[in-house]
Structure 1
Amino acid sequence: MAAMAPGGSGSGGGVNPFLSDSDEDDDEVAATEERRAVLRLGAGSGLDPGSAGSLSPQDPVALGNSARPGLPGEASAAAVALGGTGETPARLSIDAIAAQLLRDQYLLTALELHTELLESGRELPRLRDYFSNPGNFERQSGTPPGMGAPGVPGAAGVGGAGGREPSTTSGGGQLNRAGSISTLDSLDFARYSDDGNRETDEKVAVLEFELRKAKETIQALRANLTKAAEHEVPLQERKNYKSSPEIQEPIKPLEKRALNFLVNEFLLKNNYKLTSITFSDENDDQDFELWDDVGLNIPKPPDLLQLYRDFGNHQVTGKDLVDVASGVEEDELEAFTPVISNLPPTLETPQPAENSMLVQKLEDKISLLNSEKWSLMEQIRRLKSEMDFLKNEHFAIPAVCDSVQPSLDQLPHKDSENSGQHPDVNSSDKGKNTDIHLSISDEADSTIPKENSPNSFPRREREGMPPSSPSSKNTVHFDKPNRKLSPAFHQALLSFCRMSADSRLGYEVSRIADSEKSVMLMLGRCLPHIVPNVLLAKREELIPLILCTACLHPEPKERDQLLHILFNLIKRPDDEQRQMILTGCVAFARHVGPTRVEAELLPQCWEQINHKYPERRLLVAESCGALAPYLPKEIRSSLVLSMLQQMLMEDKADLVREAVIKSLGIIMGYIDDPDKYHQGFELLLSALGDPSERVVSATHQVFLPAYAAWTTELGNLQSHLILTLLNKIEKLLREGEHGLDEHKLHMYLSALQSLIPSLFALVLQNAPFSSKAKLHGEVPQIEVTRFPRPMSPLQDVSTIIGSREQLAVLLQLYDYQLEQEGTTGWESLLWVVNQLLPQLIEIVGKINVTSTACVHEFSRFFWRLCRTFGKIFTNTKVKPQFQEILRLSEENIDSSAGNGVLTKATVPIYATGVLTCYIQEEDRKLLVGFLEDVMTLLSLSHAPLDSLKASFVELGANPAYHELLLTVLWYGVVHTSALVRCTAARMFELLVKGVNETLVAQRVVPALITLSSDPEISVRIATIPAFGTIMETVIQRELLERVKMQLASFLEDPQYQDQHSLHTEIIKTFGRVGPNAEPRFRDEFVIPHLHKLALVNNLQIVDSKRLDIATHLFEAYSALSCCFISEDLMVNHFLPGLRCLRTDMEHLSPEHEVILSSMIKECEQKVENKTVQEPQGSMSIAASLVSEDTKTKFLNKMGQLTTSGAMLANVFQRKK
């Protein structure tokens, strides 16, 4: 074994079986480096192994007395590695030290060396491979330390192959280690304890843990790689970003994480801790504590502040701008060089803002001059080209020999591309030069991509090009080869080139386009074949190509086909795709003009008008509006209007009709034929009456304002449009005495409401001061709440006028005119005051006051009218007209006032539509006074309270008026007249439902309790409905108990025993609130007291009173029968009460008796069923189990069926 070691070629057992080939290579490289080190230290001055300066393996001091016999090769290698003079020892290589430590089993020292090298970034392959090999740490059972394994001679002894370390599988200092170096936890020195049985289990547990951690790491790395690959920008896009710096490259995930880390670090450094916490929460997938979480092996950049400061040290280069029509030749640039060089020297270096502005202005001027120059040159070039084309139109092209012409067709296109330029191409054939002269015209240059165009070549490359003029044609001349081959031989020879023009595609490929016209022709032929093969999701990418070809193609038939493809490009285009097509159609229309739009685009729309897909019809409807500005006005007001009218009347899709309405609005903005006014009005009425809310909303937002603007121009807004709508409302009210069509009323009234902004704009524009409204000096600000919020921008008064500044000036003059000078000579405003308002007030008086919807609609209309025309107009023009009609004074009180104006809808509409427009203190006082007067007059005249109730309902819907209404009612509570107090008590019932419980407890209940102790019995009775409503809506226990006590006093106090009207009111209240009241209140109070009242009614002598009570009891019991009633309550109170009621009905109302008998029978059956079910409780479990078993079997059988739906249906058919 000792003899094999020095030789270095032995293949004995001394070779470590775990070392790979790369390890052997590393050893050889290390040995070579050691020999070179010896030569550098000086030839012939080898180190004596026995000298003091040497460090050999046999040195007991140097190597800890770990020398072993039989390693002379190693000793000599170490001696050579430490070669040098005796005085200055050579520097020992780290690899040699590592090898020595491993040989001598100083594994912990080697591990520490490996860790330090790893941390310093100088990882040693020998140590890495050793510690990553789990076999080096597995103990072989039964092998004592220092002995080789049985049957392997010298396994633990000599290292073969030039001093390589021996196998350590049997070393005495071996560690029992798990198969990984990922954690030091797997080094367990305690495994050699006496308890040897746990050794395997512990090892398996550690290995499983490490395996799991490794898998998680791999998974995380794979996820990072996947994300990086997904977001990797393609090569072509990166080129685009580099060539066009203004295009922002999308942020990469790694960049985003790095920026997030820097931003969070900046926030923390500057004490924005809350912002940092929020930022961390929004990026919960990132650990901001550790930079390594951003990515692997990524250096941390400086903080944001340092980056910002460093940015100022870099000079930002300006962008080179050229005109889009042409490039810039270098000789022109050289011509401008002296001009730029003669600029002031201050422009050469960055100076303050004025210098940079001067540079920018000069550069802009140069760019403008360049642009003008190139546009003029382009016009000259095109004119010359057209002249030459006309001259050479009949000129015969020189014939080319048949033997040469195929070679022209087959000339590889890539040669011209690879050359990068167009000089004379010289080709050598047997020493003979053949010149091929290529003359390319400017037209061809315009079709060459920029990177291949002459403008992009360096000057030295372009100097060799032949001069080309616009007059030169795209002809290529070939010289005949100086050969004597027959043309047939040439043709046969060239036939071996695998080219074919037999197919359509081959024909297109073989003919290279040589002009813009031929390019368009080629695109027109190819696009119909390309489109069907493009994915549906990507077809919108073809829209620019189709439109450009359709725009420039000379053949009308081809253009029609291309536009047909455009409109049929996508089967069901979504919103974005339709917008793209519409954008293209508008660009096409701008380019080709109105004649071609009419002849080419409109027929495509007409074809799709009845398409089965609504998305296609939607495209047609939107196209009509988008193309309206680019159509001839005759077509706009005839054909397009007819198309839209047909779609509005016939199309069933709401979305299509909505788009039709918007397009009609655009048409109304461009139409100028007065004869179409009445047709537009009919379309307006049809749109307003559409069953779809979407269509009606679009009508108010787009169509109606546009139509109103046209009507204003024609002078028909006041004289026709508004008056016609008012007349239709009056006609509805006349015809609807027995049943008003509220939908149509809402339709007409909402249209009038939408016309208010247009009416006010007309008043301002026709005012006496309109000529004085000039914008000069400081413009006054318009209050935010001056106008109601418009439904759309087209209903904004400032939009109609032209600007908010102009409107502000007009408003200032408007208020001044109303306050100081009046309305003399102001025809448009006088029409509003003298015709519109009186007619509206007359209509309001005809409305049924009990129709809550109508009252609400008119209230909103007057509110918008008053807010739009302003506070001065409301106070001086609107309120006086209402007050003249209402005439609120106690002198007019008489019994005949019951049919007066106070009982009509004028009262609630004036109160809620006019008096609530402004909310200053004087306005609120006026409203309170008006309501108090109305309540007093109606009460004293014994008139119906419907108008007052309508006012309370409308105002009570807004919590802002609850306090005000309670103030009005308190006025009634303390009024001297019992009639007014009684009215106030009844009004509380309407107010309780909308008021919060705090106000109920503090204001309502005290007032009701005050009224419940009123000397007048009628006032006390009037409080009962309000108490019942409180029991129905309030949930506060304390409040409910107070109300319950008050109702109990009404029922149990002897003074009320004979009060028939009180009992009737209580029964009616119980029937109304019982089903919705708290169950405990219903069970413990309502039903037992109904039972008592039914018993007392059996003893009533007066039949009329008995029947009255019985009828109300019947209604109450019918309402309560739908509630859940417990068995005890049913037996003790509900059924006995029904039986008492049946006794009354048998004598007074037999038809009710039949119904009561069925109700009693049904209740008795419920009680019997509950009684019968209780003993069968034990049987119910078995029955349920049987039913579950049956259900499971049935479902299993159903799950096994694999037949069709038709066969499955036959399973349930009865056999015949």
Structure 2
Amino acid sequence: GLGTIQILADALPKIVPYVLINHREELLPLIMCAIERHPDNATRDSLTHTLFNLIKRPDEQQRRIIMDACVSLAKNVGEMRTEIELLPQCWEQINHMYEERRLLVAQSCGELAEFVRPEIRDSLILSIVQQLIEDPATVVREAAAHNLALLLPLFPHMDKYFKVEELMFQLACDPSGVVVETTLKELLPALINWGNKLDHILRLLISHILDSAEHCPPLSGVEGSVESHLRVLGEQERWNLDILLRILADLLPHVHQKAIETCPFSSVSESNGPIFSSSVLELYAGGHVEWPAFEWMHVDCFSGLIQLSCLLPQKEDSLRNRTTKFLLAVSERFGESYSTHIMMPVFLVAVGDAADFTFFPPNIHSRIRGLKPRTAVAERLAVLGILPLLLAGVLGSPGKREQLADYLRKLLVEGAMKENQSITHNNDIVNAVRFLCTFEEHHSLIFDILWEMVVSSNIELKIGAANILKVIVTYVDAKVASTHVLPALITLGSDQNLKVKNASIDAFGAVAQHFKNDMIVDKIRVQMDAFLEDGSHETTMAVVRSLVVALPHTTERFRDYILDFHIFQLTSMPAFATDGMSRRQRANVFCEAICAVDAT
């Protein structure tokens, strides 16, 4: 009866402190009974306070037990008492010094929301979650993301959609990977299902991607230079861009599905073949109907990624890699016809090449043509930023090996034979091929083309092959280095042309830097001896410079070889050069060697 409840309510606050922490949860049924049945508001408040402060720093299991008790209590006492008595006591903990208590607040937002009036959920409860998202503790922010995802289906209407969308992007760019993972796996899908505003999320996403890069300082302050367009990314900006590109990849299935669902051509649903077949693309190209969900990918998304690629310096391989994997996923999901007739033309135009517009409706021709670089700076930015994506992300898809081979030959073989090609342009092409080599599946194709260049009679092609071999060494293993790289370099090293020979020497130095395999090192040593027997000043300097570069990174045995037989022999060698410039070069190389030794 009431007398028993009164005795219980009076006794519990006195008993709790004397019960061992690990056993206090056993008092929960009594506390809940007293809270549920006691007639006095003040007493119930005091007991609810005891409930939430039962354990000083509750662990995960203890928080679960307390929250289960709260949910059970909320079911029994109804909406009004849950709002008036239960939630305020819980939310008093929002600024508590212990994160375990603040975690209880986060859990209450998601789990008690269904037991309060709907209008409380997207007002008071949402504002509590918003405050928890700013919490200094990672676990609390993660819990806020998780519980916001639980909360969304309970919102009575869409009034707070844009606020929630903003919170999602804030959590997605959180510095903690744990918070990001929870946001991407739980909150993002919940937002899409609840809000059904995929088009708005996509627009905002591309905007955030470009803003994140554009707000970084330029590589150079010289207006009009290529470097003034490239951005120096800080750690946070790089992190944010990586996450935003991940979101783009996560949204791809939704984009694809919406494009299918909104297809204006009835033949698609009746066909058992690829959804975006050539016949469907021909109908689309007629321009008689609108298909914005399909068009977003090649009109807005690709354009945004192309803009981003022209802001990223060469060293941002990780972001370029993320973008490439997204493009490959688009090819796989949208199909071969889409990849060939839609993706390829967009990226070919963006690098300044001719493209076939047969499968584009007339109303978007001007937008796609607008991607073409119009100035010398824009052309160089296209080679630096867009060409790697074209090679690895578009032509790099599994069904395009032959087209990739043809395009690479055009770049490397035909391009090298053109007159007035600047060294800078050639270096940018080499860098694009280097990036392609970060994807191992293309190695055999690249080595086939490189061998064609190695055995060519054209000196520029041979030098180009040596330059590419030098930069791709990092991305191959010892077996490939032995079977492909070294034979090609040995062939180039035996060439009678001094420029070809010296280019191969630089590449041998790069191999020596990256491999400590005895067989590889021995082959390099034999080749270096052969170069030194040549006796020319220029070749000797090239050998020593390449060995100096390798010195801090190579094996102890090869280091001794460099020091004993070549570097320090420079001091005792006869003056093989009589002019002052050559002597100065020899002295400079010796100084570089001393510095390299010191670095080891």
> TM-score, normalised to structure 1's length?
0.42
Inter-CA distance 705–1116: structure 2 relative to 1 (3 Å threshold): farther
Quick one: structure 1 residues 660 and 1117, their matched pair in 2 at CA, closer, same or farther if it must change by over 3 Å? same
What is the CA distance between 1:604 and its match in structure 2?
Answer: 1.6
Matches within 5 A, 1:336-355: none
C-alpha separation in 1, matches of 2:490 and 2:381: 34
CA distance in 2 between counterparts of 1:635 and 1:714 reads 26
CA contact (8 A) 1:757 1:868 kept: no
1:937 Cα deviation (Å)? 5.1
Distance 1:862 1:728 in 2: 21
Who is 2:371 aligned against?
A: none
The verdict on how the C-alpha distance between 1:868 and 1:747 changes in structure 2, with shifts beyond 3 A counting, is farther
In the alignment, the residues of structure 2 paired with residue 529 and residue 847 of structure 1 have an alpha-carbon distance, to the nearest angstrom, of: 65
- Candidates 478, 481, 496, aligned match of 1:1000: 481
Please name the residue that 1:815 is paired with: 274
1:666–1:1103: structure 2 CA closer, same or farther, 3 Å change rule? farther
Corresponding residue for residue 1113 of structure 1: 590
Matched, 1:634 2:119: yes
Partners of 1:868 and 1:816 in 2: CA distance: 10
Partner of 1:605: 90
| 1:741 maps onto 2:210 in alignment | no
Match of 1:646 among 118, 131, 137: 131
Distance 1:630 1:946, change over 3 A: farther
Quick one: structure 1 residues 943 and 1084, their matched pair in 2 at CA, closer, same or farther if it must change by over 3 Å? closer
- C-alpha separation between the residues in 1 aligned to 2:451 and 2:499? 18
Contact 1:625–1:663 (8 Å) recurs in 2: yes
Q: 1:542 maps to what in 2? A: 27
Residue of structure 2 in register with 1:497 after alignment? none
- The one-letter amino acid paired with 1:562 is L
1:1111-1157 Cα deviation digits (max 9, x unpaired): 3432221111244xxxxxxxxxxxxxxxxxxxxxxxxxxxxxxxxxx
In structure 2, what is the equivalent of residue 1042 of structure 1? 523
Offset of 1:1094 from its aligned partner?
Answer: 4.5
Contact 1:886 1:902 survives alignment (8 Å): yes
**Of residues 558, 575, 590 in structure 2, which corresponds to 1:1081?**
558
Letter in 2 for 1:563: T
Deviation at 1:870, TM superposition (A): 4.1
1:1011 maps onto 2:496 in alignment: no
Question: 2:196 is paired with a residue of what secondary structure?
Answer: helix
Distance 1:904 1:1028 in 2: 25
Structure 1 residues 1088 and 707 mapped into 2: Cα distance closer, same or farther (>3 Å)? same
Given the alignment of the two structures, is residue 701 of structure 1 paired with residue 185 of structure 2, yes or no? yes
**Could you say if the C-alpha distance between residues 699 and 975 of structure 1 is closer, same or farther in structure 2, counting changes exceeding 3 Å?**
farther
Aligned equivalents of 2:390, 2:71: Cα separation in 1: 51
Q: Distance in 2 between matches of 1:885 and 1:761?
A: 26
Cα shift at 1:672:
5.3
d(CA) in 2 for partners of 1:1034, 1:1052? 24
Instruction: Tell me whether 1:970 sits opposite 2:429 in the alignment.
Output: no
Distance 2:148 2:74 in 1: 19
Tell me if 1:722 matches 2:215.
Answer: no
2:317 is aligned with what amino acid?
T
1:980 pairs with 2:457: no
- Which whole-Å CA distance do the structure 1 matches of 2:383 and 2:197 have between them? 42
Alignment partner of 1:939 out of 416, 428, 433? 416
AA in 2 matched with 1:653: A
Structure 2: distance between partners of 1:1027 and 1:593: 78
State the partner residue of 1:305: none
Give matches, 1:793-1192, under 5 Å. Answer: 815-816=274-275, 818-822=277-281, 823=284, 824-886=289-351, 899-900=379-380, 903-916=383-396, 918-919=397-398, 922-936=399-413, 939-940=416-417, 941-944=421-424, 945-1054=426-535, 1057-1059=536-538, 1062-1095=539-572, 1100-1123=577-600
Aligned residue-pair number: 558
Q: CA separation of 1:825/1:817 partners in 2, compared to 1, >3 Å: closer, same or farther?
A: farther
1:680 to 141, 164, 177: 164
Q: For the Cα contact (< 8 Å) 1:907–1:947, is it kept in 2?
A: no
CA deviation vs aligned residue, 1:18-62 (integer Å, no higher than 9, x gap):
xxxxxxxxxxxxxxxxxxxxxxxxxxxxxxxxxxxxxxxxxxxxx
* Higher helix proportion: 2
Structure 1 residue 827: deviation in Å? 2.1
Note closer, same or farther for the CA distance 1:972–1:529 as it changes in structure 2 (3 Å cut).
same
The aligned amino acid for 1:858 is: T
Alpha-carbon contact 2:21-2:55 (below 8 Å) kept: yes
Taking structure 1 as reference, are residues 816 and 564 closer, same or farther at Cα in structure 2, changes over 3 Å only? same
Q: Give 1:599 deviation, angstroms.
A: 1.4
**Among residues 509, 514, 528, which one is paired with 2:13 in the alignment?**
528
The answer for unaligned runs of 5 or more in structure 2 is 220-227, 355-375
Q: Whole-Å Cα distance in 2 between the matches of residues 1122 and 975 of structure 1?
A: 40
Q: Is 2:214–2:311's contact at 8 Å kept on the other side of the alignment?
A: no
Distance of aligned partners of 1:844 and 1:1032 in 2 relative to their CA distance in 1, 3 Å threshold: closer
Per-residue displacement from partner, 1:489-546 (whole Å, max 9, x unpaired)? xxxxxxxxxxxxxxxxxxxxxxxx4xxx555444433333332232211222333443
**CA shift at 1:770, angstroms?**
7.4
Q: Secondary structure at the match of 2:232?
A: coil
Give yes or no for contact 1:955–1:961 (8 Å, CA) kept in 2: yes
Please tell me whether residue 662 in structure 1 is matched to residue 146 in structure 2: yes
| Alignment-mate amino acid for residue 820 of structure 1 | S
Q: Alpha-carbon deviation of 1:571?
A: 1.3
Partners of 1:723 and 1:996 in 2: CA distance: 37
Alignment of 1:177-192 (within 5 A): none
The structure 2 residue matched to 1:732, chosen from 186, 191, 215, is 215
Q: Which amino acid aligns with 2:305?
A: L
- Identify if the C-alpha distance between structure 1 residues 668 and 832 changes in structure 2 by more than 3 Å, giving closer, same or farther: same
Structure 1 residue 568 displacement after superposition = 0.9
Question: Which stretches in structure 1 are left out of the alignment for 5+ residues?
Answer: 1-512, 774-808, 890-895, 1124-1216
For 2:19 and 2:378, how far apart are their aligned partners in 1? 79
The offset of 1:966, in angstroms, is 2.1
Structure 2: how far apart are the matches of 1:1084 and 1:714? 63
- Residues of 2 paired with 1:573 and 1:731: CA distance? 45
What is the distance in 2 between the residues matched to 1:702 and 1:537? 32
Cα separation, 1, equivalents of 2:476 and 2:213: 37
Question: Residue 209 of structure 2 contacts residue 244 of structure 2 at CA under 8 Å; is this kept in 1?
Answer: no
The equivalent residue for 1:128 is: none
Q: Residues 1066 and 551 of structure 1: is their aligned pair in 2 closer, same or farther, counting only changes over 3 Å? A: farther
SS in 2 for 1:842: helix
- Measured after TM superposition, the shift of residue 939 of structure 1 is 3.3
Shift of 1:983: 1.5
User: Structure 1: which amino acid aligns with 2:395?
Assistant: L
SS of the residue corresponding to residue 911 of structure 1 reads: helix
Q: If the length of structure 2 is used for normalisation, what is the TM-score?
A: 0.82
Two-structure CA RMSD over aligned residues (Å): 3.4
**Equivalent pair of 2:83/2:116 in contact (CA under 8 Å):** yes
Q: CA deviation at 1:1012?
A: 0.9
Report deviation, 1:906: 0.8
Q: Deviations over 1:1167-1197 (max 9, x none)?
A: xxxxxxxxxxxxxxxxxxxxxxxxxxxxxxx
Question: Could you report, residue by residue, the CA deviation over 1:599-647 in whole angstroms, capped at 9, with x for unpaired residues?
Answer: 1222122211111211111221222122233333332222222222223
Amino acid at match of 2:290: G
Cα offsets for 1:351-396 (capped at 9, x unmatched): xxxxxxxxxxxxxxxxxxxxxxxxxxxxxxxxxxxxxxxxxxxxxx
Cα distance, 1:587–1:960 mapped onto 2, change above 3 Å = farther
Which letter maps to 2:294? L
Give how far 1:980 is off.
1.7
Q: In structure 2, what residue type is equivalent to 1:834? A: V
Query: What CA distance in whole angstroms lies between the structure 2 residues aligned with 1:1024 and 1:963?
Result: 23
Deviation digits for residues 961-984 of structure 1 (CA, Å, limit 9, x no counterpart): 433332232232233422121111
Alignment-mate amino acid for residue 1023 of structure 1: S
CA distance in 1 between partners of 2:433 and 2:405 (Å): 12
1:902 deviation in Å?
5.8
Residue in 1 that maps onto 2:225:
none
CA deviation vs aligned residue, 1:445-501 (integer Å, no higher than 9, x gap): xxxxxxxxxxxxxxxxxxxxxxxxxxxxxxxxxxxxxxxxxxxxxxxxxxxxxxxxx
Return the alpha-carbon distance in structure 2 between the equivalents of residues 762 and 1030 of structure 1: 45
